[in-house]
Amino acid sequence: MILPDAGSAAFQTLDAAALLAALPDPVAHLGADGQVTLNRAAQARVAQYSATGDWMALFQASSVPAIRDAVQAALRGETRQVTVQVVDTAAPGLLTVAPASGGALLHLHVARDPLEVALELMDGLGLGMTVQAPDTRILLANDAAARILGMTREQLLGRDSMDPEWRAVHPDGTDFPGETHPSVQALRTLQVQREVPMGVYHPQEQDWRWLQVTAIPRRVPGATQPKQVTTVFADVTEKQAMQTEMRRRERRYRSLVRATSQIVWDAFPDGDFQPPQAEWEAFTGQTPAQYRGVGWLDAIHPDDRAHTLAEWQRAVRDGDVYSVEHRLRRADGQYVPMQVRAVPVTDERGQLGEWVGTHSDLSAIREAEQALRALNAELEGRVQQRTEDLARVTRFSTLLLTAAGEGIFGLDGRGVTTFANPAAARMLGYSIERMIGQPQHDLVHHHHEDGRPYALAECPIHQTLRDGQTRRVERDVMWHAQGHAVPVAYVVTPTHDEQGQPSGAVVMVQDITERIRAQEQLQELIEDLERSNQDLEQFAYVASHDLQEPLRTVGSYTELLARRYQGQLDPRADQYLHFMQDAVDRMRSLIQDLLGFARLSRADLTLTPVALDTLLRGVQQNVRGTLDADGSSLTWDTPDQVMGQASLLTQLLTNLVSNGLKFHRPGEAAHVQVTSRREGDMIHVQVRDNGIGIAPEYHARIFEIFQRLHRRETYAGNGMGLAICRKITEHHGGRIWLDSTPDQGSTFHLTLPAVPS
């Protein structure tokens, strides 16, 4: 609906009373009779302040005179407008007083309460706001306040700051009592309290919220007492958390840099270096005026300035870590190598707040590095030397391993083959690769020669792995890949690690197939020889025995012939007869000696203790004829006893002594000397003469039967004596030999068993 123009007839017809009643502003009609009529808005308002409905109760006393003047003017027909103070608000009201029907019409227009506007405004910004009376009762609160404090507006209104329900704390966690709240402080001091941090307990979230509280006291101008206090607060819980974290990080960072460096400094985000820099000053001796801006560069070694500045500018430009090394001049003028690092420190919004940098003295590190380098160089030298040595040894051992005719295995502590040389592989028919990594025993040493399984416990190689003792095995078998046994001899040598602990073994194996064959052949040969010796002795015995009979016949007839016809034939015949008798005699002695030799057998020997002295007295009797004849001599010094058969030993010594007497130098008397001494289990007997001697090449031969060095005409004999001597000596378990120099005499040596003590 469009209202008609005020001057129009249509407007005149409008019901004025209805219009006044609908107006939201208070309107009062003052009749000429003093009667006051109020519209609905005025009635409602007046009722709040005056029980009697007195219109003037709406106005402050100070405004009353002006209102009275205006009414008087209206009654005179003038319309007046006056500014008035209204009781329930600080905002000024505009009162229009106009003449009407003999009276006056009063229209009050009140501006909106600025507090209400403020409450709404704050609400829009998310800030809580309350208005408290001087007794701290809450008169007004916006929705944000209710939200932040965790209660409804109705719950908030009427509460005061001392209400025990409030739970508030300072940032350090200590209690924040009601009488010290910013609003109360503002009321008491009439000073604005700005951005006071305060933690309040949020009953719904059951957690603390952090507020930043500003309280503004309001007082009536000129009055000393406050009228109200307006409190505005922001919820800074999230910001607070971030700041706490930031502060924590920064504290940690700072303590870190302090702990690890000598100089800590800071700079503005734009790289500007400004005092105070206490540690920088202390180290460099620069004054603030000297280092300010880029003056610090002057303390850097001239050669390091350019790259230092370039790096610093780059870091500042990119907001990146600054890291450089340079020499920094100490207060005493000495340049010290420094490791420099700086980092940009950002605030909670990610904005660069400052640079924090450190200078760390590198001289100690440098010295350590230098020492380390020297040490490394020396070590490297030693390693190289060692490597060369090793290479040489390795080459050598590889060569040895490869070239060795013997099989060589390396075993680890468990008996697994770690290496094998070609000879080992060849010997056992495996490839080297096949042997390495295999338990050696299982592969090639699993059974004995007779087919019994070879238990690991009885294997000498494994015994060495266990006890670290070297072992030599002369006869064993290892098994060829093709299943046959290879007869082997081997030596197991333990190996040790750097700590000297047994780590395995090296086995050197020899294939003894050939050796065994040779031994077997030798054995066969010996047996053959012994057999043919026996045959020969048998033959000698039989032959000499059987020869005796015809010889006896020849001897008898020769003797008969001589007895009967000697001197009856011519002289030549007599000489022939003599030759025949001589030959028969010699033949007889030869056969007897041969028979004696053949009869000598080990089995018949009975050994008893015999004194050499006793034997030599017998020998002296045997050779008495020779001794008496030509002034020869026999002496002896034989204190020992021997184990032997006396008759054979007498024969032995008689042979040696009579040879010594027989083979004397022409025209010189023979002297034979016999001595003895004990040597261990044997008695060493020497028979020495001063005779013709024997050339070395005959020393062996003279012990064989029938071997003689002279014509019978020169020295009689049949060449059986020394052969018999040797046989007797050897049957006694002794040995016979000689040393001799031709023309100077001979010494025959023999050993015979001593009497066991």
Comparing CB distances to ligand ADP, the nearer of 93 and 660 is 660
Does residue 722 touch ligand ADP according to CB under 6 A?
A: yes
Residues whose CB is less than 8 angstroms from the CB of residue 552 and which lie 6 or more positions away in sequence, other chains included: none
Number of residues that bind ligand ADP (CB under 6 A): 20
Q: How far apart are alpha carbons 451 and 72 in whole angstroms? A: 152
Q: How far apart are alpha carbons 267 and 280 in whole angstroms? A: 12
Comparing CB distances to ligand ADP, the nearer of 183 and 659 is 659
Cβ at position 470, least distance to ligand ADP in Å: 51
Cβ at position 744, least distance to ligand ADP in Å: 11
Tell me the CA distances in angstroms from 655 to 523, 650, 670, 680, 687, one per residue in order.
34, 8, 15, 26, 11
| Identified binder of ligand ADP from the candidate list 130, 417, 659, 729, rule CB under 6 A | 659
Cβ at position 598, least distance to ligand ADP in Å: 16
Q: How far apart are alpha carbons 542 and 536 in whole angstroms? A: 10
Comparing CB distances to ligand ADP, the nearer of 136 and 690 is 690
Cβ at position 455, least distance to ligand ADP in Å: 60
HSE at residue 342, side-chain half, CA atoms within 13 A, is 28
What value does the CA radius of gyration of the chain take, rounded to a whole number of Å?
Answer: 72
CB atoms within 10 A of CB 341: 19
Cβ at position 684, least distance to ligand ADP in Å: 18
Residues whose CB is less than 8 angstroms from the CB of residue 39 and which lie 6 or more positions away in sequence, other chains included: 20, 21, 23, 26, 27, 28
> For 633, phi and psi rounded to 5 degrees?
-135, 155
Cβ at position 506, least distance to ligand ADP in Å: 56
How far is C-alpha 579 from the geometric centre of its chain's CA atoms?
105
HSE at residue 435, side-chain half, CA atoms within 13 A, is 29
SS (H, E, C) 569-592: CCHHHHHHHHHHHHHHHHHHHHHH
Q: Which long-range contacts (CB under 8 A, 24 or more apart) does 535-541 make?
A: 537/598, 537/601, 538/598, 540/594, 540/595, 540/597, 540/598, 541/595, 541/598, 541/599
Region of 64-72, 144-152, 599-607, 715-723 interacting with ligand ADP (CB under 6 A): 715-723
Comparing CB distances to ligand ADP, the nearer of 181 and 708 is 708
Question: Tokens in use for 29?
Answer: 């009609």
Does residue 721 touch ligand ADP according to CB under 6 A?
A: yes
Cβ at position 627, least distance to ligand ADP in Å: 15
Strand partners of residue 100: 103
Question: Tokens in use for 609?
Answer: 């203790």
Comparing CB distances to ligand ADP, the nearer of 34 and 666 is 666
Comparing CB distances to ligand ADP, the nearer of 230 and 746 is 746
Does residue 273 touch ligand ADP according to CB under 6 A?
A: no
Comparing CB distances to ligand ADP, the nearer of 134 and 719 is 719
DSSP letters for 96-154: EEEEETTEEEEEEEEPPPHHHHHHHHHHHHT-EEEEE-TT--EEEE-HHHHHHHTS-HH
Cβ at position 685, least distance to ligand ADP in Å: 15
Cβ at position 669, least distance to ligand ADP in Å: 15
CB atoms within 10 A of CB 486: 18
Cβ at position 679, least distance to ligand ADP in Å: 23
* Cβ(346)–Cβ(353) below 8 Å: yes
Query: Which of the 8 DSSP states describes residue 246?
Result: H
Site map 673..712 versus ligand ADP, x via CB under 6 A: ----------------x-xx-x-------x----xxxx--
Comparing CB distances to ligand ADP, the nearer of 103 and 660 is 660
Does residue 74 touch ligand ADP according to CB under 6 A?
A: no
Does residue 50 touch ligand ADP according to CB under 6 A?
A: no
Region of 107-115, 376-384, 496-504, 713-721 interacting with ligand ADP (CB under 6 A): 713-721
Cβ at position 565, least distance to ligand ADP in Å: 33
Q: Which of residues 108-167 bind ligand ADP (CB under 6 A)?
A: none
If we measure between CA atoms, which residue out of 8, 10, 29, 204 comes closest to residue 105?
Answer: 29
Region of 28-36, 191-199, 222-230, 656-664 interacting with ligand ADP (CB under 6 A): 656-664
Question: Tokens in use for 738?
Answer: 């000689």
Q: How far apart are alpha carbons 489 and 472 in whole angstroms? A: 8
Q: Which of residues 208-267 bind ligand ADP (CB under 6 A)?
A: none
Residues whose CB is less than 8 angstroms from the CB of residue 517 and which lie 6 or more positions away in sequence, other chains included: none
Cβ at position 630, least distance to ligand ADP in Å: 16
What is the enclosing helix (H) or strand (E) of 688? strand 682-688
Region of 306-314, 576-584, 626-634, 658-666 interacting with ligand ADP (CB under 6 A): 658-666
| Identified binder of ligand ADP from the candidate list 407, 415, 660, 734, rule CB under 6 A | 660
Question: Tokens in use for 501?
Answer: 């602990």
Does residue 719 touch ligand ADP according to CB under 6 A?
A: yes
Cβ at position 488, least distance to ligand ADP in Å: 48
* Cβ(656)–Cβ(676) below 8 Å: no
* Cβ(479)–Cβ(444) below 8 Å: yes
Comparing CB distances to ligand ADP, the nearer of 644 and 721 is 721
Site map 598..637 versus ligand ADP, x via CB under 6 A: ----------------------------------------
Does residue 592 touch ligand ADP according to CB under 6 A?
A: no
Comparing CB distances to ligand ADP, the nearer of 252 and 701 is 701
Does residue 747 touch ligand ADP according to CB under 6 A?
A: no
Cβ at position 731, least distance to ligand ADP in Å: 17
Residue that has been written with the tokens 């329930």 in this structure: 88
Question: Tokens in use for 82?
Answer: 């006056």
Cβ at position 516, least distance to ligand ADP in Å: 40
| Identified binder of ligand ADP from the candidate list 663, 726, 727, 750, rule CB under 6 A | 663
Comparing CB distances to ligand ADP, the nearer of 673 and 718 is 718
Does residue 717 touch ligand ADP according to CB under 6 A?
A: yes
Q: How far apart are alpha carbons 184 and 160 in whole angstroms? A: 10
DSSP letters for 262-302: SEEEEE-TT--B-S--HHHHHHH---HHHHTBTGGGGGB-H
3-state secondary structure of 214: strand
Region of 572-580, 634-642, 652-660, 727-735 interacting with ligand ADP (CB under 6 A): 652-660
Region of 42-50, 304-312, 347-355, 654-662 interacting with ligand ADP (CB under 6 A): 654-662
Region of 88-96, 416-424, 539-547, 720-728 interacting with ligand ADP (CB under 6 A): 720-728
3-state secondary structure of 200: strand
| Identified binder of ligand ADP from the candidate list 237, 718, 747, 755, rule CB under 6 A | 718
Residue that has been written with the tokens 């010189």 in this structure: 668
Cβ at position 722, least distance to ligand ADP in Å: 4
Comparing CB distances to ligand ADP, the nearer of 574 and 730 is 730
If we measure between CA atoms, which residue out of 223, 124, 253, 135 comes closest to residue 187?
Answer: 135
Question: Tokens in use for 608?
Answer: 């008893």
Comparing CB distances to ligand ADP, the nearer of 150 and 719 is 719
Cβ at position 593, least distance to ligand ADP in Å: 9
Cβ at position 626, least distance to ligand ADP in Å: 13
Rounded to whole angstroms, the maximal C-alpha distance in the chain is 238
Comparing CB distances to ligand ADP, the nearer of 45 and 671 is 671
Does residue 746 touch ligand ADP according to CB under 6 A?
A: yes
Q: Which residues bind ligand ADP (CB under 6 A)?
A: 655, 659-660, 663, 689, 691-692, 694, 702, 707-710, 717-722, 746
